[in-house]
């Protein structure tokens, strides 16, 4: 597992090898500079992960560079994402990015959204 730490505050995000390889493929296919990981306040449980291909950071984004993957994350979400593991898995006939968030206190039944206590 690849680990990238952002200072200060020791924020850590993880990409598995499978997620890293897939992210690099998709970034190249989209001719983008990287991926923006955002949260949307919606879904059954409160928050959903949103991945977008981007060419640069937005105001308030922090850049994590993980084995060649530029991952832009809005600073306001960093406490809720600290320790997040992003994996790329195949489930049946579908392949997708899967998120394992140690800060999540609950998830909806379909796994599309999560909730956290105040961090």
CA atoms within 13 A on the CB side of 102: 10
Region 19-23: mean pLDDT is 95
81-105 core/surface letters (b: 16 or more CB in 10 A; e: else): bbebbbbbeeeeeeeebbbebeebe
Reported pTM: 0.84
- What pLDDT does residue 44 have? 64
* Pairing, β 85-91 against β 47-54: unpaired
Region 80-105: mean pLDDT is 90
pLDDT of 67 > 70? The answer is yes
- What pLDDT does residue 9 have? 67
- What pLDDT does residue 104 have? 81
Q: Which CATH architecture has domain 2-116?
A: Sandwich (2.60)
Q: Taking the domains of the chain in order of start, what are their residue ranges?
A: 2-116
| Range in 27-36, 59-68, 95-104, 109-118 with the lowest mean pLDDT | 109-118
- What pLDDT does residue 111 have? 55
pLDDT of 106 > 80? The answer is no
């Amino acid at each position: 597992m690849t680990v990238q730490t952002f200072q200060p505050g020791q924020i850590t995000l993880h990409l598995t090898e499978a997620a890293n390889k897939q992210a690099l493929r998709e970034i190249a296919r989209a001719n983008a500079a990287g991926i923006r990981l955002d949260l949307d306040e919606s879904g059954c449980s409160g928050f959903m992960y949103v991945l977008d291909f981007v060419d640069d950071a937005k105001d308030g984004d922090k850049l994590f560079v993980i084995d060649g993957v530029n991952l832009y994350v809005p600073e306001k979400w960093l406490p809720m994402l600290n320790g997040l593991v992003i994996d790329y898995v195949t489930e049946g006939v579908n392949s997708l990015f899967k998120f394992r968030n140690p800060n999540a206190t609950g998830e909806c039944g379909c796994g599309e959204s999560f909730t956290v206590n105040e961090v």
